[in-house]
Amino acid sequence: MPKLTVLPHPDFCPDGAVIEDAPAGVSVCRVLLDHDIEVEHACELSCACTTCHVVVREGFDSLDEASDTEEDMLDRAWGLEPTSRLSCQAKIGSEDLIVEIPRYTINHAKENH
């Protein structure tokens, strides 16, 4: 199984993370959530927002192509880069991935509990 590396993020994953057993065919967001990395996902993984936006630093070409709907949503993402994907839509392929969770999202103002 491919390895999913998450670069450090001050809120969701301060020390970064390495997930050694990321199952192919599962969305990056689902794998993150299943490993207690509580990335934002306001639309419950339905491709209706941009809160789960990630930048794929390595392994981008191993992901399936983004749909037109995902591309339209990504146009609204904060800090969009050429290798940006919605983690709810990006399915893990056969190669290792390195992803970065952007510091800010369109929901940049959150309540602290």
pLDDT digits (tens, 9 = 90+) for 22-40: 999 999 999 999 999 988 8
- Tell me the residue type at 9: H
Q: Is 68 helix (H, G, I), strand (E, B) or coil?
A: helix
pLDDT for 112 equals: 45
What residue ranges of the chain have pLDDT lower than 70?
105-113
* pLDDT at position 5: 98
| pLDDT for 107 | 59
Confidence at residue 110, expressed as pLDDT on a 0 to 100 scale: 46
What's the pTM? 0.89
Domains and CATH numbers, the chain: 4-100 (3.10.20.30)
Q: Show the CA angle centred on residue 44, arms to residues 4 and 8, nearest 5°.
A: 35
Mention every residue, 6+ apart, whose C-beta is less than 8 A from residue 35: 17, 19
